[in-house]
Structure 1
Amino acid sequence: MSSDAPVGARPPAGKTFFGHPRALSTLFLTEMWERFSFYGMRAILVLYLTAAVADGGLDIGESSANAVYGTYNAMVYLMALPGGWVADRLIGARRSVLWGGVVIAAGHYVMAIPTGWSVFAGMALIVLGTGLLKPNISTMVGDLYERDSPRRDAGFSIFYMGINLGAFIAPLITGFLGEKINWHLGFGAAAVGMTFGVLQYVLGRRNLGDAGARPADPLLGADRRRALTRIGVATGILLAVLLVLLLAGWFTVDTVVKLLTVVTVLVTVGYFARILTDREISGTERSRMKAYVWLFVFAASFWLIYDQAGSVLNIFAADQTDRSVGGFTFPASWLQSVNPILIIIGAPLAAALWLKLGHRVSTPTKFAVGLVLNGLSFVLMAAAARAAVGGDLVSPLWLVAVYAIQVAGELSLSPVGLSATTKLAPVKYASQMLGLWFLATAVGDAIGGQVARLAGAWSQPVYFLTFGLASVVLGLAAVMFTRQIRTLMAGIH
C-alpha cells in the first residue's frame, strides 16, 4: 500500500486542508473509500470462493481460489499501465478517476448479486476501474504542488494515511457482514463504500482547480483515431480468444488464471526489452536499468510471499486459529486489518530511520533486508502451522507476529523501491517507470497465485518453511551482490 509522486503543477487557490490545498481532502477521501472497497472485498474473497455451497460459497477448492486471488491482484496492478496511458493521452486524470470509480462501484454491485457468475464479472469490472483510478489519483495529488514545494512530501504522507485508513476499516465491516451474515452483503458494503467515494469526488470537483483537467500529452487528429482503432482491434482479439476458449470447452477458472499469469510475465519481459534495447537512452541510463532489473526481481519475489496474506494466511486464520474472545468468534478477515494499522504506526518510524542512516545503507541492502524479513515471517508461519498439526487451533497472535515482521519488510522495500524507480529511470521513460514499478507487484502476485496452489499439495510446515528459507537465501544473495548492483546504479545510492 503505497502512493506515488508524479510531476506537479500550479496548485489551486482557496481553502486549505490541514495547511494543504483543499482538493487534497477530496482526493484523500476518494482514495480512502476506493481502498475501503478494494481491501474490504479482498479480505473475504478467498473465504467466499472456498466456502461450501451450503454456506453460500462457491466451494472451488483452495488451490484454485488462491490462484484466482493472486491473478486478480496481478491484473489490478497490470491495468495501471493502460490506465495511466488513457489519462495521459486521451481523457486526463480527472475524468479517468471519475470513470474508474464508477466502474469499480459497478463491479462491487455486480458481486453483490447472489449468483455464482457475479463474482467473476464483478472482479473484471473492478480490475478495469482500478486501472483507471489508482495511478491517476496519485498524479492529481502531485498536481496540487509545485515540484519543489516543501509541502509535497507531507501532502503525499497524508494521502498515504487515507490508503491505510480505508484498508484498516474495511475488513472489520465487510468481514463481519460477509462471514457472519451473507457473503454478498459483504461485497455490497464494499459497493456502498465506493459509491460514497464517487459522490464526494463529484461534489468536491470544484476544489480541484486545474489538477488533472487535461491529458498531459494528448493524442489529436489522425494519431488519436489510429490509437482508438488499435484499442478496438486489441479488444476484439481478446474477445475472440475468450470465445474460442468458450466454444472449445476450455473456458475454465484455471485456464483463464494461467493465461493471465503468462500475459503478465510476457508484458513485463517485453517492457524491459523495449527500454534496454532503445538506442536513444545513454550508456549510463542503460546501466542503471540493468541494476533496476535486479531490484525488480527482488521486489516481485517479495510480493510473491507478502500478498499471500489475503489467500493462504487468510484461510489459515479461518480454519486453524482460535478466534474466540469472551464467547464471540470474530471473523477471520478481521486479521486483515492488522497490516494497515501496523503500517500507519511504522511508516513514520521507518522514514526517520532511513533519514538518520542516510547513504550508509544502500538501496540494494534495504531490499535485502525486506527479503530476509519476509522470509523469516514464513519461517515463523511454519512454526505456527506445525503447532496446528492434528487439528489444534493456535492463537491468532501467531499471525499478528507474522504480519508485523512482513510490515517491517515492506517498509524496508516498498517506499525505497518507489524512490529508486524515480532515480534510476531513463529520462525518456520517466513517466512510465511508475507503471513498471506496479508491474513488480503484478508479476509477484501472478506467480504467487500459482505458487500458492502448492499450499494444498504440500504439508503446511513444509510449504511455509520452503518459501521462507528461499526468500532469506535470496536476501542474503542480494547482500553479496550489493557492490555489483551499486556499480550498475552509476552513482545512485
Structure 2
Amino acid sequence: MGERREIGGHPAGLAIVTVAEAVQAAGIYGVQALLILYMANALFTPAMLDSVGGFTAWRALLESLFGPMSLQALATQTMGLYLGLFFLTPLLGGWLGDRVWGPRLTCIIGAALATGGMVMVILPATFLPGLLVSALGAGALRCNLNAQTGHLYARDDGRRDAAFSILAAGLNTGAFLGPLLIGALGERVDWQWGFAVASGCMALAAITLMAGNGLMPPDTPHAARRSARLQHGDGRTIAALVMVMLFTSLFWLAQSQVWNVYALWGRDHLDRLVLGLEVPVSWLQAFDSLAPIMAVPPVLALWRAQAAAGRVPGELGKIGIGMALMGGAFIWLALGSGILLGQGQTPILWVVMFHLILNVGWLYLVPTVNALFSRTAPPAVTGVMLGAVQFGVFIGSTMSGWLGRFYERMAAADFWLLHAAFPLAGAALLWLVRGRLAKVLRL
C-alpha cells in the first residue's frame, strides 16, 4: 500500500497533507489579512455601498440582531461572523467525511468549492455570497485534512503528536507567506488581485490532494461508514471533549480578534515604519504565523527533554499553558497600548514580542487539541469531533465580532485587557476540572 512508504520517519501521506495544508492556509489567511481592511477602508464606505450585492438586507439583518452600528462596526461584525462560519462549517465537513464521501473526496470537493467562493469575493456584487461559499468549502477541507492525518497512524503511535505539530508548521508556513504576498498585492496594487491569488492557492490545494491520492489511507467503504455506531461509554467521552472545546473557545475569542480588530488597531496606533518603509497592515498576520514556525523546534525539544525526565505536563496541561500564554500576550499588548508607553504610536518591535508570546501559546494548544481529539474521539464520529474543535473557534470568533464594536468606545489598552481576561479564565477553569476530564478521557 502506498501509505506505508515513509519520509523522514513518517508516512509519505503526511507530506501530501502538509503541502495541501500550507497552500490552502496561504489562501485563507491571505484573505483574512485583507478582509477587514478591504471592508473598512473600501467596500463598506459610502462610495461603494451601492455596488455590494445584498448589502441593504445584510445591514438590516445585523442591526435587527445587534442594534445600530457604524460602517466600521458593520465591517467588524461581518468579519466576526465570517470567521465564525469559517470555523463552524467543519462540523458539516466532518459529517460528510465520516458518513458520506470519506475524508479524501471531501477534501478535494471542499478545495474546489473554496476556490469558487474566493473567485466570487473578487466582485462586489457577489462578495457576500462568496464569503458563504468559500467558508463552506474551507470547512469541508480543513477538518478532513486533520482526519486524514490521524488515519495515517495507529491510535497508540507515539508519532501522532509530532505529526500534528508538523501539520501545524505547514499551516503556519502558508499562513505566513499568504499575507505577505496576498496582503501586499491587495493593499499596494489592487484588492481584487489579492483575492485572485488566494483562489489560485485553493486550486493548488485541490491539485496536490488529487496528485497524492495514492499515498493516503483508503476511504472507508460507504456502507461501513454508515454502519459505524457509538459504543457504550462513548457519550461520556464526547461530553468531556465538548467541555475541552468550550474552554478553548475562550482562547479563540482572543485569537480571533487578532484576525479582526487588531488590523484596525495596527492601522491607527502602530508605528509601521521600518528603515524608512511603511509595513503593510496585512503583514501583521504574517508576523502572527512566523513565530510558531520558529518555535516548533525548541518547543518539540523541550517536550522531548521533559518526556525523558518524566515531567511532561500532559495534554490538558499543555492546553492550559497555551491559554495562559494567550492571556499574557494580550496583557503585553495592553501595556504597549498606553499603559507603559503613553498615548503615542506603539513601536513595531513591541508587537513582534506580542506575536511571539501569543503563538508559543498557539503551539502548545492547537496541535495538542487536534491530537487529543483524533486519538480519544469515538471512531464513529472522529471527523465530527474534529469539526467540533472548530466549533470552539466558531464560538470565539462570533463573540469577537460582537466585542469588536467596543473598539470605537474603549481605550485601546482597556480593550486588550478585556481580551486577556477570557483565555486566562479558560485556563483557570480547565485547571479546576482537569482531574475529572483526565479520568474520563483515560489520559
**Segment of structure 1 superposing worse, 104-113 or 389-398:** 389-398
Aligned partner of 2:143 among 126, 135, 145: 135
Q: Residues 339 and 403 of structure 1 are in contact (CA less than 8 Å); yes or no, is this contact kept in structure 2?
A: yes
TM-fit CA distance, 1:198: 2.6
Aligned partner of 1:404 among 347, 356, 363: 356
Name the structure 2 match of 1:374. 326
Name the structure 1 match of 2:113. 103
TM-fit CA distance, 1:200: 3.7
TM-fit CA distance, 1:432: 3.5
TM-fit CA distance, 1:171: 0.4
Q: Residues 374 and 471 of structure 1 are in contact (CA less than 8 Å); yes or no, is this contact kept in structure 2?
A: yes
The structure-2 alpha-carbon separation of the partners of 1:39 and 1:159, relative to structure 1 and needing over 3 Å to count, comes to same
Separation in 2 of the partners of 1:56 and 1:171?
26
Separation in 2 of the partners of 1:472 and 1:137?
30
Aligned partner of 2:131 among 120, 123, 140: 123
Question: Secondary structure, in 3 states, of the residue corresponding to 2:102?
Answer: helix
Figure out how many residues of one structure are paired with residues of the other and give that number. Answer: 418
Separation in 1 of the partners of 2:184 and 2:342?
28
Name the structure 1 match of 2:36. 46
Q: Residues 172 and 334 of structure 1 are in contact (CA less than 8 Å); yes or no, is this contact kept in structure 2?
A: yes
Q: Which has the higher contact order (CA 8 A, sep 6+)?
A: 2
Separation in 2 of the partners of 1:417 and 1:145?
17
TM-fit CA distance, 1:362: 5.1
Separation in 1 of the partners of 2:139 and 2:370?
18
Separation in 2 of the partners of 1:20 and 1:118?
43
Name the structure 2 match of 1:66. 76
- Give the counterpart letter for 2:145 in structure 1: I
1:112 to 2:64 alignment: no
- Give the counterpart letter for 2:29 in structure 1: Y
Separation in 2 of the partners of 1:20 and 1:423?
17
Deviations 1:397-446 (A, max 9, x none): 22222222211222332233334435654576555322222211111111
Name the structure 2 match of 1:212. 219
Name the structure 1 match of 2:26. 36
1:165 to 2:173 alignment: yes
Q: Residues 98 and 384 of structure 2 are in contact (CA less than 8 Å); yes or no, is this contact kept in structure 1?
A: no
TM-fit CA distance, 1:290: 5.4
Aligned partner of 1:174 among 152, 157, 182: 182
TM-fit CA distance, 1:292: 4.1
Q: TM-score, normalised by structure 2?
A: 0.82
**Pairwise mapping of residues 267-346 of structure 1 onto structure 2 (< 5 A)?**
281-282=232-233, 291-346=240-295
TM-fit CA distance, 1:13: 5.9
- Give the counterpart letter for 2:410 in structure 1: W
Question: Secondary structure, in 3 states, of the residue corresponding to 1:51?
Answer: helix
- Give the counterpart letter for 1:133 in structure 2: L
Deviations 1:6-62 (A, max 9, x none): xxxx64366x64465554443332222111110010011101110046899769733
* 4+ long deviations beyond 6 Å: 54-60, 387-391
**Segment of structure 1 superposing worse, 409-418 or 64-73:** 409-418
The structure-2 alpha-carbon separation of the partners of 1:25 and 1:450, relative to structure 1 and needing over 3 Å to count, comes to same
Separation in 2 of the partners of 1:68 and 1:124?
11
TM-fit CA distance, 1:310: 1.2
TM-fit CA distance, 1:469: 3.7
TM-fit CA distance, 1:154: 5.0
**Segment of structure 1 superposing worse, 85-94 or 95-104:** 85-94
The structure-2 alpha-carbon separation of the partners of 1:146 and 1:426, relative to structure 1 and needing over 3 Å to count, comes to closer
Name the structure 2 match of 1:234. none
Separation in 1 of the partners of 2:192 and 2:362?
32
Deviations 1:259-293 (A, max 9, x none): xxxxxxxxxxxxxxxxxxx9x643xx666555545
Q: Residues 115 and 199 of structure 2 are in contact (CA less than 8 Å); yes or no, is this contact kept in structure 1?
A: yes
Q: Residues 272 and 347 of structure 2 are in contact (CA less than 8 Å); yes or no, is this contact kept in structure 1?
A: yes
Separation in 2 of the partners of 1:474 and 1:13?
40
Unaligned runs of 5+ in 1: 1-9, 221-277
TM-fit CA distance, 1:315: 1.2
TM-fit CA distance, 1:322: 1.5
The structure-2 alpha-carbon separation of the partners of 1:474 and 1:80, relative to structure 1 and needing over 3 Å to count, comes to closer
- Give the counterpart letter for 1:392 in structure 2: G
Name the structure 2 match of 1:12. 3
- Give the counterpart letter for 2:37 in structure 1: L
Question: Secondary structure, in 3 states, of the residue corresponding to 1:490?
Answer: helix
- Give the counterpart letter for 1:191 in structure 2: S
**Pairwise mapping of residues 220-235 of structure 1 onto structure 2 (< 5 A)?**
none
Name the structure 2 match of 1:439. 391
Q: Residues 178 and 187 of structure 1 are in contact (CA less than 8 Å); yes or no, is this contact kept in structure 2?
A: yes
Separation in 1 of the partners of 2:47 and 2:219?
43
Deviations 1:290-333 (A, max 9, x none): 55454333201111011211111111112211212233212111
Q: Residues 92 and 384 of structure 2 are in contact (CA less than 8 Å); yes or no, is this contact kept in structure 1?
A: no
Aligned partner of 1:184 among 192, 195, 204: 192
TM-fit CA distance, 1:73: 1.8
Question: Secondary structure, in 3 states, of the residue corresponding to 1:432?
Answer: helix
Q: Residues 261 and 407 of structure 2 are in contact (CA less than 8 Å); yes or no, is this contact kept in structure 1?
A: yes
Separation in 2 of the partners of 1:123 and 1:154?
33
Q: Residues 281 and 428 of structure 1 are in contact (CA less than 8 Å); yes or no, is this contact kept in structure 2?
A: no
Separation in 1 of the partners of 2:394 and 2:165?
24
Name the structure 2 match of 1:490. 439
Aligned partner of 1:415 among 364, 367, 377: 367
The structure-2 alpha-carbon separation of the partners of 1:295 and 1:90, relative to structure 1 and needing over 3 Å to count, comes to closer
- Give the counterpart letter for 2:215 in structure 1: L
